[in-house]
Amino acid sequence: MRFPPKFLPDKFTLKNYVEVFSSVPFLRYYLNSILITTVAVTLTLLTSSLAGFAFAKYKFRGRNVIFKTLLGAMMIPFPVTIIPLYIMIYNLGLVDTYLALIVTGSVSIFGIFLMRQFIVTICQPGTLSCGLFWL
């Protein structure tokens, strides 16, 4: 409420930091973040690469329809999906669990799209750029 405002304190102290770190288990929060992020990213890479490879290299009935449906689903804003996602997690009994965070973050439509686009460019039929990728 002071004019002109002061952005720097008169006396620097680390007392507030010591108090916060002694009253809140930040190490536990940090380890939770590392665990959930590592597992979710690993699963995202696995699911995206497998689905992207299937869309890029296998010919099956409905492939284009499914892929275009996934691209259409990317147009839905995330806030619209929050409530149905919560209801699904609640019905599965996963509210307030690590598994709920991991499962909801383990599939990425954008990741599938990027992997498909990349895999299509790796080895195109009729070109000499294939090398020994596909034996």
What is the percent of the chain with per-residue pLDDT over 90, rounded to a whole number? 67
Task: Specify the 3-state DSSP secondary structure of 18.
Answer: helix
Residue 89, both tokens: 């997690």
Give the residue carrying structure tokens 């383990």: 106
Residue 106's φ and ψ, nearest 5 degrees, are: -95, -5
pLDDT at 135: 46
Backbone conformation region of residue 12, classed left if phi is above 0, alpha if psi is from -120 to 50, else beta: beta
Question: What gap in Å lies between CA 90 and CA 82, rounded to an integer?
Answer: 12
Q: Which residue has the higher pLDDT, 71 or 122?
A: 71
Question: What gap in Å lies between CA 12 and CA 34, rounded to an integer?
Answer: 32
Digit-coded pLDDT (tens) for 72-114: 999 999 999 999 999 999 999 999 999 999 999 899 999 999 9
Q: How many C-beta atoms lie closer than 10 Å to residue 51's C-beta?
A: 21
Residue 66 CA, distance from chain mean position: 21
Q: How many C-beta atoms lie closer than 10 Å to residue 52's C-beta?
A: 20
Query: What pTM, to 2 d.p., does this model score?
Result: 0.75
